[in-house]
C-alpha cells in the first residue's frame, strides 16, 4: 500500500451547489465539501496530493467548464488521477446518469448536464497508473458498473470508483451542516484517522468504514468498484496513528440525519437512526421551492419503497406498455415508438401519510363542429390515445390519458418534484424518469414519491375525434 506520487499525480474536485434553474434546489454544503476535502487531501503531513496539484472547480458554469478542468488534470497525471464530484445527479430518458452544472435545466438535460459517460471516457483514456473517481450525488451507484465494466473489457488496471449512493438511491445533505452526509464522513476519516487502524488509509479501508457508518446510522449505502490493486492505494496517512502537525481549523462535524422513507434502498432494511442524531436531513433532490400544500405529507415507507423498486425496473430494462411520445409541428404528427425503459408503478398501500391530490382535469366530450373553435387548437386525435394508456405531447408539455373507453384526462407533463418532464404511461401510472415519482393517470395524484403534489390539470375538449386545447392555455 502506498500514497500517490506527489509530483506525478493530480486531483480535480468539482462541486455544484448553486443552480440557475428553479427546479433544482441549492446545496450550500457542497462549498464546504470542496474546501475541506481539498484541505485534508493536501495536508503536508497526512495528505496525498500537493495543494498545487488540486484543481477546485466550484459551481462550474456549464458542462464544458467541468470537462476542460477534468481533461487538463487527466492530461498531466502520470501516477494517479483523482476526480471528485458533488451535486445533483439526474437520470436521462434511458436511465443514464448526468452530473449537474450551474446552468443545468432538467428539461434540457442532454445539452446542459454532463453525462457520466463523458467523464468515464476521459478517465479511461488518462495515462495515469491509477484513477480514482468519487461521486457524491443521487444515483451515483450507476457509475460503478459503467466504469468498471468498460475498464475490465479493455484490460486497464488500477481504477477505483467510490459512489455515495446505490444506483437507485438518493444522496443526503443534512440541513445546516458544513458538508453533505457522505463527504462529511469521508472528510472525518481522512482528517481524524482510524484509531488502531493501518498506517495508511487505503481506498478499500475507507470504503469499509464508510459502509459501516452508513449501515449504523441509516444513511444510503455507498458502493464501490475496483480493478487490479487500486483498493490498496491510499488517500492519506492515518492521522490517529501517525505523526501529527498543526492543521486547518475543523469545521463542525456533519450531523447524521434520520433516514427518510423514500431515501432507503429497495432491498434490505437499514436500522432506524437513534435519537442522538436528530438533525433534519434533506435529499439533494428536494424541491427547490415549497409545494402548494402548506404541510406537504411525507410518503409512507411502503409507498416509498415501492417507488424505489419502480425506478430499479428502469435500470434493469423492464417492459413498456401502452405509451407514446409525440411532438407536433402544426397538424403533422411525429410518433416515436422508441423511448426510455419505464418502471412499473407499485400498488402500494395507503396507510400513513397521504399525498396531495390535484383535481381531475375538466373534459368536454359533447360533439361540436371544429369550425366554431377559433379560440382553440387541436393537439391530438382520440385514436392516438390508447385505452388504459396515454399520450405525451412534448411540444405542448401536456399528457392526455384515457383510463377507460371515452374518458379523457389531461395534465401538465412536468413532475412537481424537481421539474423533470414525465416520460411514459405504464400500467395506470404516469412516470417521471429523474427520481421515480409516479402519478395516477386518471386524476394526476401521487402514487409514489419523492413527489408530494399531484400533476397540475389542463383543460381539454373532445370534438369528434379531435382533442382540443384553448389557444391561450
**Cell, residue 412:** 401538465
| 3 state SS of 76 | helix
Q: What is the pLDDT of residues 28-70, one digit of tens each?
A: 999 999 999 999 999 999 999 999 999 999 999 999 999 999 9
Give me the mean pLDDT over the 159-170 stretch. 90
Report residue 229's pLDDT band, with 50, 70 and 90 as the boundaries: low
pLDDT higher than 60, residue 200: yes
pLDDT higher than 90, residue 134: yes
Backbone angles phi, psi at 93, to 5 degrees: -70, -20
Report residue 359's pLDDT band, with 50, 70 and 90 as the boundaries: very low
Q: Is the pTM of this model over 0.75?
A: no
Q: What is the pLDDT of residues 299-342, one digit of tens each?
A: 443 333 333 333 333 333 332 222 233 333 333 323 333 333 33
Q: What percent of the chain has pLDDT over 70?
A: 67
Give me the mean pLDDT over the 436-460 stretch. 89
Nearest to 200 by CA among 229, 158, 235: 235
Using alpha carbons only, how large is the chain's radius of gyration in Å? 24
Question: Which residues does residue 49 pair with via DSSP β-bridges, in sequence order?
Answer: none
Report residue 455's pLDDT band, with 50, 70 and 90 as the boundaries: very high
Which helix (H) or strand (E) segment holds residue 187: the answer is helix 181-192
Please give the span between the terminal C-alpha atoms of the chain, in angstroms, as a whole number.
64
User: Is the pLDDT higher at 280 or at 4?
Assistant: 4
Q: pLDDT value at position 13? A: 97
d(CA 282, CA 257): 8
Q: pLDDT value at position 86? A: 97
Give me the mean pLDDT over the 128-157 stretch. 72
Q: pLDDT value at position 243? A: 55
d(CA 122, CA 296): 42
Question: Which residues does residue 334 pair with via DSSP β-bridges, in sequence order?
Answer: 327
User: Is the pLDDT higher at 472 or at 108?
Assistant: 108
Amino acid at each position: 500500500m502506498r500514497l500517490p506520487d506527489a509530483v506525478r499525480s493530480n486531483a480535480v474536485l468539482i462541486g455544484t451547489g448553486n443552480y440557475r434553474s428553479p427546479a433544482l434546489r441549492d446545496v450550500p454544503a457542497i462549498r464546504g465539501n470542496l474546501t475541506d476535502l481539498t484541505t485534508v487531501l493536501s495536508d503536508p503531513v497526512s495528505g496525498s496530493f500537493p495543494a498545487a496539484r488540486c484543481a477546485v472547480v466550484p459551481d462550474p458554469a456549464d458542462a464544458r467548464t467541468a470537462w476542460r478542468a477534468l481533461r487538463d488534470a487527466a492530461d498531466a497525471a502520470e501516477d494517479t488521477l483523482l476526480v471528485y464530484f458533488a451535486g445533483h445527479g439526474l437520470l436521462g430518458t434511458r436511465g443514464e446518469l448526468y452530473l449537474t452544472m450551474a446552468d443545468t435545466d432538467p428539461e434540457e438535460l442532454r445539452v446542459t448536464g454532463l453525462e457520466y459517460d463523458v467523464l468515464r471516457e476521459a478517465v479511461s483514456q488518462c495515462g495515469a497508473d491509477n484513477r480514482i473517481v468519487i461521486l457524491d450525488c443521487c444515483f451515483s451507484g450507476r457509475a460503478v458498473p459503467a466504469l468498471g465494466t468498460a475498464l475490465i473489457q479493455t484490460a486497464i488496471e488500477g481504477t477505483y470508483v467510490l459512489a455515495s449512493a446505490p444506483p437507485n438511491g438518493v444522496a443526503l445533505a443534512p440541513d445546516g451542516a458544513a458538508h453533505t452526509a457522505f463527504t462529511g464522513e469521508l472528510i472525518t476519516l481522512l482528517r481524524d484517522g482510524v484509531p488502531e487502524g493501518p498506517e495508511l488509509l487505503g481506498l478499500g479501508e475507507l470504503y469499509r468504514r464508510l459502509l459501516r457508518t452508513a449501515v449504523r446510522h441509516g444513511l444510503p449505502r455507498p458502493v464501490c468498484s475496483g480493478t487490479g490493486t487500486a483498493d490498496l492505494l491510499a488517500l492519506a496517512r492515518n492521522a490517529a496513528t501517525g505523526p501529527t502537525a498543526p492543521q486547518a481549523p475543523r469545521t463542525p462535524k456533519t450531523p447524521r440525519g434520520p433516514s427518510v422513507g423514500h431515501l432507503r434502498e429497495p432491498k434490505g432494511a437499514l436500522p432506524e437512526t437513534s435519537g442522538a442524531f436528530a438533525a433534519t436531513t434533506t435529499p439533494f433532490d428536494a424541491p427547490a421551492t415549497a409545494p402548494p400544500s402548506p404541510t406537504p405529507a411525507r410518503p409512507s415507507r411502503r409507498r416509498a419503497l415501492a417507488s424505489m423498486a419502480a425506478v430499479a425496473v428502469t435500470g434493469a430494462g423492464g417492459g413498456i406498455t401502452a405509451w407514446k411520445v409525440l411532438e407536433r409541428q402544426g397538424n403533422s404528427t411525429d410518433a416515436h415508438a422508441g423511448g426510455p425503459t419505464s418502471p412499473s408503478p407499485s400498488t402500494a398501500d395507503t396507510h400513513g401519510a397521504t399525498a396531495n391530490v390535484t383535481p381531475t382535469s375538466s373534459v368536454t366530450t359533447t360533439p361540436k363542429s371544429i369550425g366554431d373553435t377559433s379560440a382553440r387548437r387541436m393537439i391530438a386525435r382520440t385514436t392516438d390515445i390508447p385505452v388504459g394508456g396515454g399520450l405525451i405531447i412534448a411540444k405542448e408539455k401536456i399528457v392526455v390519458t384515457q383510463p377507460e373507453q371515452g374518458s379523457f384526462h389531461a395534465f401538465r407533463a412536468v413532475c412537481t418534484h424537481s421539474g423533470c418532464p414525465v416520460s411514459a404511461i405504464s400500467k395506470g401510472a404516469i412516470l417521471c424518469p429523474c427520481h421515480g415519482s409516479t402519478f395516477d393517470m386518471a386524476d394526476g395524484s401521487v402514487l409514489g414519491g419523492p413527489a408530494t403534489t399531484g400533476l397540475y390539470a389542463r383543460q381539454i375538449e373532445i370534438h369528434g375525434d379531435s382533442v382540443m386545447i384553448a389557444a391561450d392555455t
